Chains A and B, each alone.
Chain A
Amino acid sequence: MSKEHEPADPRAWATMSAAEAGTPTDDPDVLRLRRMMHLLDAFAVGRRTVCPTRVDLVAYQAGELSHDTVEGVQAHVAVCPACWSDLADLSALASPPLLEVVVELAHDALRLVRHTFGSAATPLAAPVRGEPVGAIELAAEQEALRLHLSVDTAADDRADLRVRLNGTADAGLGEHWRISLYRGDHLLESRQIPRQEPAGEVDFARVGHGRYTVVVTAAGAEVGRLEIDLQPAHD
Chain B
Amino acid sequence: MLSAVAAGDAAAWSALLERYRPFVLGRLRQARKTRNWFWLTELDDVVQDVLVQFYEAVQQGRFTYRDEHALRGFLVQTTFFVVMKHKDAATGEQALSDLWVGDEADDLERRFALVEFAESAFDPLGRRDCLRELYQAIDRLPEARREVLRLTLLGLHPRDIAPRMKRTANAVSVLKFHALDELRRALEQTDFAANCGEYFTSLGSEP
Using a CB–CB cutoff of 8 Å, the interface residues on chain A facing chain B are 1, 4-9, 12-13, 15-17, 20, 26, 28, 31-40, 42-46, 49-54, 58, 62, 72, 75-76, 78-82, 84-86, 88-90, 92-95, 97-98, 170, 182, 185, 187, 215, 217, 220-223
Contact = CB atoms under 8 A, between A and B. Distances in A.
Which 5 A-B residue pairings sit nearest by Cβ, starting from the closest? Answer: A222-B26, A50-B121, A81-B108, A92-B31, A222-B22
B171 A39 contact: no
Interface range, B side: 35 or more
Interface of B: 1, 15, 18-19, 21-23, 25-31, 33-35, 37, 73, 76-77, 79-81, 83-84, 87, 91, 95-97, 99-100, 104, 108-109, 111-113, 116-117, 120-125, 127-128, 130-131, 134-135, 149, 152-155, 168-171, 173-174, 176-178, 180-181, 183-184, 199-200, 202-203, 206-207
A13 B96 contact: no
Given A36-B184, A89-B80, A217-B26, 17 more contacts: A4-B168, A6-B170, A7-B174, A31-B207, A34-B203, A38-B202, A54-B80, A54-B81, A78-B111, A79-B117, A81-B100, A81-B111, A81-B112, A88-B35, A92-B30, A93-B80, A97-B27
Contacts of A79: 111-113, 116-117, 120
Given A31-B203, A81-B96, A84-B108, A62 B26 contact: no
A20 B156 CA distance: 13
Nearest to B111: A81
A43 B153 contact: yes
B171 A7 contact: yes
B200 A76 contact: no
Nearest to A182: B19
A185 B173 contact: no
Contacts of B131: 43, 49-50
Contact of B35 (A72, A75, A92): A92
A20 to B, nearest CB: 8
Contacts of B100: 81, 85
Contacts of A215: 22-23
B91 A46 contact: yes
Contacts of A94: 73, 76
Nearest to B125: A49
A80 B112 contact: yes
Nearest to A223: B26
B122 A76 contact: yes
